[in-house]
Structure 1
Amino acid sequence: MKRYFSLLLCSAAFTACAQQKVPTAEVQIKQALLAAPADKRAGATVYGYDANKEVVVLRKGTNELICLADNPFEAGFSAACYHRDLEPFMQRGRALRKEGKQGREIFDLREQEVKAGKLVMPKQPTTLFVYTAKDEDVEGGGGVKNGYLRYVVYVPYATAESTGLPLKPEGPAMPWIMDPGTHGAHIMISPPKQ
């Protein structure tokens, strides 16, 4: 009985900690929109997290942009916004991570699914914006200092030859192509960090 009571207390304490760790919807929305271009913020759909680590809709939008708040259960700060046509790709990645898959395994599974027609990638180039910071730079109330914004343009199956882009950056903010010839081919644009 004593052991059962201890487990019950530990479970309750964990749930309370998890609930305390998740920022309010207002804060999550504010932080998620840091990744969005200014003219897209007011109309963006925003996803965030609940105490059960589930992705939930915090705000329904009116434009083509979807923003995802920082995952409070992971180290570091990372908010992202992307074109709604990338949602099947992004959602599948979240589902695979929830299953415990990581990195290359997720990439390879999505590649197989795209080739099999089970996962559809956008036909036109689509953009992803990623805003990152260190945990210590996240302020109360939704502020983030010393954040870094980088840009990604997905162009499935594009290559260095089809785009004229190099396979690695050769100068500050120079665009380059990553994962060429795959479903996840994308143009990387990483401004210099200040």
Structure 2
Amino acid sequence: MAPFDIQCTAKANRPRLEQNHAFESAGGTVAEILARFERAEADGTRALSVWGSIYYHVYGDSAQDYRNHTVVAVPYATRDLGFPIARGPAMLWLMEAGTSGAHLMVSGR
């Protein structure tokens, strides 16, 4: 975690955030933690984000020296949504298509 780290999303996304926290805080190797997420995805128990909800994440060394990471949740969206799946300047693109974690990445600082 960065010294300056703020995250914000819709209250309705709390079940997914709590599930993320439970999987990560159970400990283990990175592979073991990722396996928990993969099992939940495979068996259909992965908590879903609200379609169209936004996750804002601002982090860095200080409020003056930061990066932002903004995504729009679109669970199970595929390329049929019409967005590219590769990053480009000043645009949205689809990541993790077809999964519960599918989301549109928002370019920019």
Instruction: Note whether the superposition's TM-score is higher than 0.5.
Output: yes
Alignment partners' CA distance in 1, 2:26 and 2:38: 15
Quickly say closer, same or farther: Cα 1:122–1:170, change in 2 above 3 A. closer
Q: Post-superposition shift, 1:170?
A: 2.1
How many pairs were matched up?
106
Matched, 1:150 2:80: no
Mapping for residues 76-115 of structure 1, pairs under 5 Å: 76-101=3-28, 102=30, 104-113=34-43, 115=44
More helix by share: 1
Q: Gapped runs of 5+ residues in structure 1?
A: 1-73, 139-143
SS in 1 for 2:9: strand
What is the letter of the counterpart of residue 104 of structure 2?
I
Aligned residue in 2 for 1:182: 99
Fraction of identical pairs, as percent: 26
CA-atom RMSD, angstroms? 2.1
Alignment partners' CA distance in 1, 2:50 and 2:21: 21
Contact 2:19–2:47 (8 Å) recurs in 1: no
Kindly provide the CA deviation profile for residues 43-83 of structure 1, in whole angstroms up to 9, marking residues without a partner as x: xxxxxxxxxxxxxxxxxxxxxxxxxxxxxxx4553311011
Alignment partners' CA distance in 1, 2:18 and 2:50: 18
Contact 1:156–1:181 (8 Å) recurs in 2: yes
What is the letter of the counterpart of residue 64 of structure 2?
K
Q: Gapped runs of 5+ residues in structure 2?
A: none
Mapping for residues 19-38 of structure 1, pairs under 5 Å: none
Matched, 1:127 2:54: yes
Quickly say closer, same or farther: Cα 1:166–1:133, change in 2 above 3 A. same
* TM norm structure 2: 0.81
Q: Post-superposition shift, 1:85?
A: 1.7
Alignment partners' CA distance in 1, 2:6 and 2:64: 13
Contact 1:176–1:188 (8 Å) recurs in 2: yes
